[in-house]
Structure 1
Amino acid sequence: MTVKRSAGLLLFRTSQGHLEVLIAHMGGPLWASRDTGAWSVPKGEYGPDETPEAAARREFVEELGLPAPDGEKVPLGEARQANGKIVTVWAVEGDLDPAAIVPGTFTMEWPRGSGVSRDFPEVDRVAWFTPQEAAPRLVAGQQAFLERLETYLRER
């Protein structure tokens, strides 16, 4: 069995002396009424012909419709999600206005079994949160990236 891999960028900033991270609420009807565990680092899958870092930059653009930020990419390593997917993330310091996103879309049958295909945004909103606010919102398998970012910032 082939393990699926995703890569993403975790944007961070300091606002009024507090660390904040930008995370994205997953789009589509399956996530619409959920908050806890329904947010993610902007990320996506990649195949053997693409490097994880290139995929992270591409997916940032695809999911948010904005260019991936330039700047030092801090490797936060890998984490395995509950579904077995391995996610690799880099942190990048920068700023972004959540109102400026233009998310990409995906198509799925909805309602299930109806035979009707509909388009939905990949993410329906993004927001800045402190790591403590972001942790319960993030997919459990991605929470480790918040801890790693905080450790990196304390030690630099």
Structure 2
Amino acid sequence: MGRTRSVADSVVIDRSPSELYGMIGDVTRMGEWSPENKGATRRREGAAEVGDEFIGSNTRGRVSWSTLCTVTRAEPGRVFAFRVHEIGGPKRRLPARIASWQYTFEDHDGGTLVTETWTDDRPWPDVVARVFDSAVTGGRTFADFQRGNIRRTLRKLKVVAEADVVR
């Protein structure tokens, strides 16, 4: 059986699609709700556009790394997506197909249904992925690991968005 290459989850948040898109599209804020990402730095100011790059800072346990990401979809109030295509430390990152992330925003009973999707872009054979995944996630597949991360991210996003005035 092949590995699961994509997982998603959703939550309804009492905010408009445009407000939530503004929060997610500001990748510098991602650390406010992600259990692993600690935020990002962008190379330019203003609303994210397709083709914009940013560097994500991540930590899992005692291990930290950075990623180079490129925005692949930027449709305000509808879809924000990016792909991760370099990984490494603060001084050097290795080019590699890693993952894609997508957030969709749909009107839902006066709030917004937010769906977060992770897709495994690694071109590795399944057996290599299983061994690597187990070593870096404490015995799980990345799909199972990311399913939990997505659930935690969406719960925290809901808390932050509903408790705060959206910037």
Higher RCO (CA 8 Å, separation ≥ 6 residues): 1
- TM-score, with structure 1 as normaliser: 0.29
Q: Going by fraction, where is strand more abundant, 1 or 2? A: 2
Q: Going by fraction, where is helix more abundant, 1 or 2? A: 2
